[in-house]
Copies of this chain bind each other. A is one copy, B any other.
């Protein structure tokens, strides 16, 4: 396992490189590879371990009875998923986790952390984990903010303004394709396309492939 890459991840901030191998062992680390479209975790499952995306990217998705998808998160390299369920061991997953492309996942039994002796390294891990959970919280709150408005137009602007702050530019890279963006905003794909076209005709945005320019 390439520790050089792993030590850059949020969970391992302020962990000594020399400790890393030991930490991975303590957390019963193992990796697994997935192809595009593979299910990594299923709704209803219990997740004994959380996942870290070593390469590729995955979607955390909820499906309703009719198969309509609601994208909660898209997790890229270095990102974590299922940490909530790995921690709350009796809570069944309310989402699927699916590989968007060929991906390699590192699994860690995060509950083991609380059985380990209390030293500086393990305290750092706890602090990092708390930090990550707090940020997941914010992401979920932002998603709620984005899907609260009734109209597609308002949802799009809510999302684009958020992206504009995060990317610190008005030339926004959108990592979703249209269907995924529709799923994230909980609207119909063709209706989203229609609204984006209208916004472009009105001169409020400019569409170019995976970028959207915000024009103010």
Contacts and interface: CB of A to CB of B under 8 A. Distances in A.
Interface residues of A, number: 38
A70 interface: yes
Contact of A64 (B91, B118, B133, B149): B149
Contact of A130 (B72, B130, B135): B130
A69 to B, nearest CB: 10
**Protomer copies:** 2
- The A interface is mostly helix, strand or loop, or mixed, namely helix
Interface string A28-42: 000000000000000
21 contacts: A64-B149, A70-B148, A72-B141, A72-B144, A84-B134, A84-B137, A87-B130, A87-B134, A88-B134, A91-B138, A94-B142, A95-B141, A114-B127, A118-B123, A126-B126, A130-B133, A133-B134, A137-B137, A140-B141, A147-B148, A148-B186
